[in-house]
Amino acid sequence: MGKWMIGAALAAIPAAAIAAPGQPGPKAPENILPPEPPTVTAAQVPAGSDEVTSSRMKAFETVQSVAPDVQPWNVADAQALAAVIAGIGAEGLDPKDYQLAELQAAIARGQGGALDQAASRSFAWLVEDLRDGRTPMEARKQWFVVDPDPDRYRTADVMAQALRSHSVAATLASLNPEHPDYAALKAELATAAPAQRKLIRANMDRWRWLAKDLGSQYLITNVPEYQLRLTVNDKIISTYRTIVGKPGRTATPQLAETVEGVIFNPTWTVPQSIVKGEGLGAKVLGNPGWAKAAGYKGTRDPKTGFVTVVQQPGANNSLGLMKVDMPNPHAIFLHDTPNRNLFNQENRALSHGCIRTERAQELAITLAILGNLATTPETRKAAADEAVAISTSGKYTRVPVQKTMPVYITYFTMGRDITGKLRQFNDIYGRDAPVLASLDAPRQANRARATSEEAVEIVDDLQTT
């Protein structure tokens, strides 16, 4: 088994996935914006028929100190903006949300304060929807990802860049998600039947809820697809079938977290909702023979009567032989399972909320190699040998990583499967309906960045199936 795991783990890692010491890793996409808000001066305003007078610039600077999203527009740039709005349906958005008629009326009146206000407002709304998604937080059920893009691509900065370079359309297009699945959905939207268009639009919007750039190396799992991908430079390196939370209170929430280590041979401190609520504590204390065979150790506090149950490492441990250390307030993580036969089922919404992963030891060894910067065949094999030895030792061991990796737990009901084919997935948690409804509702301004929805209590995964 050890040689098989080494071979599988090493085969999963392309040379491009690891940067050699002193060498740069995969090049990240360039940021279209400067790190600090640019200062717009009269010298930056183009001369000629679109020249902004010094008095108008002074008035603008006074307004900008109060409302930085209002900036001076010339007619040509405003016309370019109107053309973007007219064609924004190609991005799954609706032109009527961006006050096209009001913008065209302002263009007809010519350059001035009315045009500045109308164009700045329409542009800002486009930025918000292309960058953050149009769906309001209350329609994103169990969505706990905080998108970093509003801080990375601030509206006033994006507008200043577009006006300075006279590249309104290109600047707005640069806000689109970079993941190839977004492009696949966009291409499908162009030829889709009317009945399918809204579902495609909803899933295009879901990509905007995430960071525009997911990073050069990450794990991403689509809950309704029951699949986990290890991805490098947006190319799938390896895939793993998953088991996710049952519908209802144990449905898996959507998160963006970070791999900080791998735990081999984990213990499991059983939550009180199971110890007390499901009667496990009484069963462990009342049946020592069964408890020992199952690997449980139970203790009762003589003063309070409080019962604690910890399942020890071993083949029967509910977390299996591996757990990805990805700290988060929801206690959600990727882990192994002793019931590997369940990966053969078509419907794999079976867990208490965590994500059980097939070939978990292979995944753990791969993460340990990637995370600890083993850059040559020799050091990678040595790292794999060490990880196999740890995993087969039967002892609880946490292997930290030097290079962390994002983990995205997503929910797409239409997207490319692991073969690259665009298809629809079952809406196992009924999360499409509020998103679809929001597309029919008027656009909501001043949307919250973080959900106010309370997290459902998710417990470490008792194997009940």
Q: Give tens-digit pLDDT for 293-327.
A: 889 999 999 999 999 999 999 888 889 999 999 99
Place of tokens 């970079």: 178
Task: Give helix 75-86 / helix 113-132 axis angle, nearest 10°.
Answer: 40
Show the domains of the chain with their CATH numbers: 2-16+213-422 (2.40.440.10), 67-132+149-175 (no CATH)
Which of the four pLDDT bands, split at 50, 70 and 90, describes residue 175?
A: very high
| % of the chain surpassing 90 pLDDT | 68
**pLDDT tens digits along 266-292:** 998 888 888 988 899 999 999 999 999
**122, pLDDT greater than 60:** yes
pLDDT score at 4: 56
Nearest-angstrom CA–CA distance, 63 and 74: 17
Single-letter code of the amino acid located at 45: V
For the segment 51-74, the average pLDDT, to the nearest whole number, is: 57
| % of the chain surpassing 70 pLDDT | 82
DSSP H helices in 349-462: 360-371, 377-391, 432-440
**H/E element, 207:** helix 194-208
Number of H helices, E strands in the chain: 16, 14
Task: Write down the pTM of the prediction.
Answer: 0.84
Token duo for residue 234: 């947006």
The residues near 336 (Cβ < 8 Å, ≥ 6 apart) are: 319, 320, 321, 322, 323, 356, 357, 360, 361
Hey, CA dihedral for 312, 316, 321, 325, is it positive or negative? Answer: negative
| First CA to last CA distance, the chain | 26
For the segment 161-177, the average pLDDT, to the nearest whole number, is: 97
- Residue 124: name the closest of 172, 79, 77 by CA: 172
